[in-house]
């Protein structure tokens, strides 16, 4: 699966224990997405657009109503992207 550089960076953050924190409106629709590392730093340049793409590709998942994290498909996709970049 092809992923962009921004999507790859976001998946890298998530693979090392980061999460996606969503701000939602009254109708429970996402207004803003923040990619946060496990140390609490925010990833600049990644926002709601990247979240929507990652969710559409099923690379992130929310379990039990919690924050979004990387899915198994996301891990596989990230490994493929790393391998392609190394082979490059």
Report the domain count for the chain: 1
Domain that holds residue 19: 5-82
* pLDDT for residue 84: 85
Asked if the structure places residue 88 within a domain, the reply is no
**How far is 78 from 72, CA to CA, in rounded Å?**
10
Q: How much is the pTM?
A: 0.87
The per-residue pLDDT of the chain, averaged, comes to: 92
Helix, strand, coil shares of the chain, percent, nearest 5, are: 40, 25, 35
14-38 per-position pLDDT tens digit: 999 999 999 999 999 999 999 999 9
Check pLDDT > 80 for residue 1. no
Asked if the structure places residue 28 within a domain, the reply is yes
| Band of pLDDT at residue 2, cut at 50, 70 and 90 | confident
Asked if the structure places residue 63 within a domain, the reply is yes
């Amino acid at each position: 699966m092809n992923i962009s550089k921004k999507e790859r960076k976001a998946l890298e953050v998530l693979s090392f224990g980061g999460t996606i924190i969503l701000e939602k409106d009254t109708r429970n629709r996402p207004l803003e997405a923040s990619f946060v590392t496990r140390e609490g730093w925010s990833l600049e340049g990644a926002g709601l657009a990247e979240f929507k793409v990652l969710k559409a590709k099923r690379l992130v998942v929310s379990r039990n109503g919690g924050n979004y994290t990387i899915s198994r498909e996301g891990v596989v996709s990230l490994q493929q992207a790393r391998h392609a970049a190394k082979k490059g």
